[in-house]
C-alpha cells in the first residue's frame, strides 16, 4: 500500500478499531486487484461504501467488513474477476459511483 493523501471524509466518526479494519481491508483489496484497479480507486470506493453504510447503521461493529465486501463485489463486476463472494438471498446490489 502506498502512502498518499486521503480523499475520503476525515471528520467522520470512526473508532481506532474501525480505522485499522479499513486499512487492512484496503490492503487486502489492493493485493487482490493489483494491476487491475488503482489503489486510489479502491480506497475511495471502500471509504465511500463505509460512509454510506454508516449513515444508515444503528450497529457499527461490522461496517468495515460490509464496506470491504461491497467494494469487492463492485470491483469484481466490471473486471470480470470471480472471487466467490455471494450476496445474501441471491440478491444483487448495483454498484454505482455515487450513492442516491
Share of the chain above pLDDT 90, in %: 47
pLDDT band, residue 12 (cuts 50/70/90):
low
pTM for the model stands at: 0.68
Q: What is the pLDDT of residues 61-77, one digit of tens each?
A: 999 999 999 999 988 87
Q: State pLDDT tens for residues 33-56.
A: 988 889 999 999 999 999 999 998
Is residue 92 pLDDT above 70, yes or no?
A: no
Q: Where are the domains of the chain?
A: 16-85
Q: Following DSSP, what letter does each residue of the chain receive, concatenated?
A: -------S-TTS---HHHHHHHHHHHHHHHHHTTTTS-HHHHHHHHHHHHHHHHHH-S--TTHHHHHHHHHHHHHHHHHT-------GGG------SS--
Q: What topology is assigned to 16-85 in CATH?
A: Helicase, Ruva Protein; domain 3 (1.10.8)
Amino acid at each position: 500500500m502506498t502512502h498518499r493523501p486521503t480523499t475520503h471524509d476525515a471528520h467522520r466518526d470512526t473508532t481506532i478499531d474501525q480505522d485499522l479494519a479499513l486499512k487492512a481491508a484496503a490492503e487486502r483489496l489492493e493485493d487482490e486487484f493489483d494491476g487491475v484497479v488503482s489503489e486510489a480507486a479502491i480506497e475511495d470506493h471502500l471509504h465511500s461504501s463505509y460512509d454510506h453504510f454508516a449513515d444508515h447503521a444503528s450497529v457499527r461493529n461490522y461496517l468495515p467488513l460490509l464496506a470491504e465486501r461491497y467494494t469487492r463485489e463492485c470491483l469484481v463486476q466490471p473486471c470480470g474477476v470471480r472471487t466467490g463472494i455471494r450476496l445474501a438471498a441471491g440478491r444483487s446490489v448495483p454498484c454505482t459511483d455515487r450513492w442516491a
